[in-house]
Structure 1
Amino acid sequence: MPMMTHRPHMLTEDFEAVARIATREREGARLEFIDGVIRSKAMPDGDHGRIIQWLLRICMQSRPDLFLHPGQGIKAEAYRTGRAIPDAVLAHSDAFVGQGDWGDPDPILMAVEVTSWDSDSHRRDHVEKPRAYAETGIPVYLLIDRAKCEVSVYSQPNGQRYESVHVVAYGKEVRLPEPVGITLDTEPLKDWAR
């Protein structure tokens, strides 16, 4: 029996064209291309946005040499064939100047996702994104899971996956390892939980 190989639904260039049209036609449409599959990313609600504001303030105070870029599209996965829109990425302030819709991930120190309430949030944020970001070589992946009231810190990417995952419940402190080097007191996250 012949072996089946994974084949993307479309070429990366074709996805980029579809994503541009979708963004123009549907205000706020956010499409991603992970594992060769087009995914629609839910629009953030008010609590989601507030969590990103909270994290942005902490990053600015702790690491004024860096900036938390909300919603920056990046080239992801092995060989940069995927396209992801993290909720935020931590990099220097000019990291994406002149790069268009899908920035080079090399300057990124941390990718951030805050879970949404859509049905595929678990698969996307707990399975697909960690693998894509590890393949990309992003040193730290911070996942704020609103359904579980947990914060997960993924680190030590080996090109296929993150070798270290540290999970804490809301209310505890968690250290974002180098090259980020920030400690988060997650107590305020309880205010934005359902």
Structure 2
Amino acid sequence: MEIVSVGRLCVPDLVVMAREDVATPTPAHRILLVAEITSPSNASTHRIDKSRAYAHGPIPLYLLVDRWDKDGPAATLYSEPDGKVYQRVQRVDFGGAVVIPDPFGIELDTSGFPPR
């Protein structure tokens, strides 16, 4: 997926979009949610660079599953992008539930996520 406003090609670990967009090149602003899973070598890129790029999309929801967070393994949901940064950040330690808002309206249970 190309984020035109930052001139960057991003390849998320997971992309959620409407069924009608699957067969065609999809502009970033039509994507509903992206997710990234960190490794020791890419954690900083996912936390900083990609969160900025996805906010520029603007992609409404960015889920970061981060076993390497300095404060302990966590899932972080970024939401409410203003075109530059995400205005809302919800960080949940592994074991808790991440509330993913509409159009999903679900809680993601992280109790089965592997520890560091």
TM range (shorter): 0.7 to 0.9
Asked if structure 2 preserves the Cα contact closer than 8 Å seen for 1:96 and 1:104, the reply is no
In the alignment, the residues of structure 2 paired with residue 139 and residue 123 of structure 1 have an alpha-carbon distance, to the nearest angstrom, of 21
What residue number does 1:182 align with? 106
Q: CA deviation at 1:173?
A: 1.2
What residue number does 1:85 align with? 11
The alignment status of 1:76 with 2:16, answered yes or no, reads: no
| Aligned residues with identical type, % of pairs | 33
Give the TM-score normalised by structure 2: 0.88
Asked if structure 2 preserves the Cα contact closer than 8 Å seen for 1:112 and 1:141, the reply is yes
Q: Which letter maps to 1:127?
A: I
Q: CA deviation at 1:81?
A: 2.2
Matches within 5 A, 1:23-38: none
Alignment: residue pair count:
113
Choose between structure 1 and 2: higher helix proportion: 1
Choose between structure 1 and 2: higher strand proportion: 2
* Alignment root-mean-square deviation, CA: 1.6
Q: 1:136 to 1:188 in 2, by over 3 A?
A: same
Asked if structure 1 preserves the Cα contact closer than 8 Å seen for 2:55 and 2:81, the reply is yes
3-state SS of the aligned residue for 1:180? coil
Asked if structure 2 preserves the Cα contact closer than 8 Å seen for 1:89 and 1:108, the reply is yes
Instruction: For CA contacts below 8 A with separation 6 or more, give which structure has more relative contact order.
Output: 2
What residue number does 1:162 align with? 86
Runs of at least 5 residues in structure 2 that lack an aligned partner in the other structure: none
Runs of at least 5 residues in structure 1 that lack an aligned partner in the other structure: 1-73
In the alignment, the residues of structure 1 paired with residue 104 and residue 57 of structure 2 have an alpha-carbon distance, to the nearest angstrom, of 17
Write out per-residue CA displacement over residues 111-158 of structure 1, whole angstroms, 9 at most, x where no aligned residue: 10000121xx23211110110000001000000001231000100000
What residue number does 1:127 align with? 48
Larger radius of gyration: 1
Q: CA deviation at 1:77?
A: 5.1
Q: Which letter maps to 1:97?
A: A
Give the TM-score normalised by structure 1: 0.54
What residue number does 2:29 align with? 106
